[in-house]
Amino acid sequence: MTLVGCAGTGPNQQLGVAGGAVGGALVGNALGGSTAATVGGAAIGGLIGNEVGKNSDRRNYNNYDNRPRY
């Protein structure tokens, strides 16, 4: 549902959101044991994964050498 907002982002950012949300949901459920804890963990994990993936995409973009090879 909320991953639709990721359209137009880099591949690592999208994977970061998805992986962070799943991981956060698992941790939230394990620690809190309630639906609210699961949803909260997914939200926090998704935000963290978004930033990690965004930084990875930015680093890959900046390191990409697109000059012609001779």
pLDDT band at residue 23 using 50, 70 and 90 as cut-offs: very high
Q: Rounded to an integer, what distance in angstroms lies between the CA atom of residue 41 and that of residue 61?
A: 30
pTM (whole model) above 0.85: no
Whether the pLDDT of residue 69 is over 70: the answer is no
Q: Rounded to an integer, what distance in angstroms lies between the CA atom of residue 58 and that of residue 43?
A: 22
E strand spans, the chain: none
Q: Rounded to an integer, what distance in angstroms lies between the CA atom of residue 24 and that of residue 57?
A: 21
Question: How much is the average pLDDT of 53-65?
Answer: 82
State both tokens at 24. 């956060």
Whether the pLDDT of residue 70 is over 90: the answer is no
**The pLDDT of residue 20:** 94
